[in-house]
Amino acid sequence: MSELRNRIGKDELKKRLKEESFNRKTISFYRYVKIQNPTELRDQLFKQWNDLNCFGRIYIATEGINAQMNVPEHNWDEFEKQLNTIAEFKNVPLKFAFDGNGKSFYKLVIKVKDKIVADGIKDEDFDSSNTGIYLNAVQFNDAVNDPNTIVVDMRNHYESEVGHFDRAYCPDADTFREELPLVVEHLKGKEDKKIVMYCTGGIRCEKASAYLKHKGFEDVHHLQGGIIQYAKEIKEQGLESKFKGMNFVFDERIGERITDDVLSDCHQCGKPCDRHVNCKNDDCHLLFIQCPDCEERSNGCCTPKCMEIAALPIEEQRKLRKGRIKNGPECLSVYKSRLRPKLSEIIKKDISL
C-alpha cells in the first residue's frame, strides 16, 4: 500500500526532480461538484497519483476539487483514464501550462479543505452554481476593446503587479476573501454595466461571477479557463495578447511569461523587473520582486537583517525561531499585509547594500 503522505525531505525531492530523464506535463483543473466524502476521495487520489509519480498541490472539499499538478508524460494516458473513471471529474477541462517545462512541483500534496477557494461568504442564500457567461479568448479581447465594458482582475495584488489585462481594475488585496467586497464596492452603481472578469485558471472568477449576480449585477462574464487557457488560445490562433507581462503561478516556476512587457520594478533598486522570489531567510520567506543583481548583492534576502540570519548555521537559525512567533519583528515579514502598499519603499529604506 502506498504512503498517504510524502516522507522525503524537500532538498532531496528537488534534486530528484532536477535529475529526471523524462518530461512532465503541468496541468490545472477544477470543478465545483458535490463530494460526499472528501477524505475518502483524498486517500484514493493520493494512492493513484503517487503510484503514477504525479506531483502537485490539490485541494478537495464538499464543494469540489482544485488541482495544480504535473504528470510524467509516460503515465499521461493512465492518469487521464483514471481521472475519467471518477464520476465527479469525468471529462473535466484540463488546462496545460504555457511554458510546459514540467518542473512545477516536486512532491504530491492533497489536502481536505472547508472550501476549494476560501471566499468568506456566509450568506446561506448564495448560489455558487449561478455563474456568469463564459468568454473565450476572441470574445474576451472584444470585451477588453469595448470602452463600455468593465474589466476586473480577481487575483491578488502580487499577481496583478507583474501582469494584467489592458484597462483592468486590479484590487489591492492579499486574498480572494478580501477582494470580493472590494470589487463590489468598486462597481457600486454600475449594476447594469457589462462586467468581464478573469483569474489564473478560472476557479476564482467563476465563483466571483456568481457572487456579483447574487449582489444584483445583471451582465456578468468571465474568461473560461483563465489566463492559462487564454495564453494557449492566442498562441494557437495567432491573436493579439491583451494580457501584458507575466502570469503569476502558484508553483516552483512562480511565473509564466505571456508577453515581453515588464510592468513592475525591483523592490530593492527600482529598475524594471517582474521576477518574484522568496526571501532566503527561512524565517521570513517574504515574496517580493528582486532583480538578479540585487539577489547577488543581498544573497537572495530582502533586508540586511534577513541576510544576517540566513548566513548563520542552520542550527543557530532554528534556535532563533524556537519559542517565538514565526515571521516576528526581526524581519520584513511584518509588513506583508498592513503595510504592503509601501513594501518597495520600506525595502529601499531598510536595505543598505
- List the catalytic residues: 199
What ranges in 22-147 are assigned the alpha helix state H?
38-51, 76-85, 137-145
Q: Are 52 and 13 in contact (CB under 8 A)?
A: no
In the numeric block, the cell 520567506 is attached to: 285
* DSSP letter for each residue of 51-75: HTT-EEEEEEETTEEEEEEEEEGGG
Q: How far apart are CA 161 and CA 261, in angstroms?
A: 12
CA-based diameter of the chain, in Å? 60
Region of 268 on the Ramachandran plot (φ > 0 left; ψ -120 to 50 alpha; else beta): alpha
DSSP 120: -
Say which amino acid occupies 122.
K
Instruction: Quote the Cα angle for 72-74-76, to 5°.
Output: 70
Three cell numbers, residue 169: 481594475
Q: Return the SS3 of 64.
A: strand
Q: How far apart are CA 136 and CA 82, in angstroms?
A: 28
Q: How far apart are CA 141 and CA 154, in angstroms?
A: 17
Instruction: Quote the Cα angle for 65-109-173, to 5°.
Output: 65
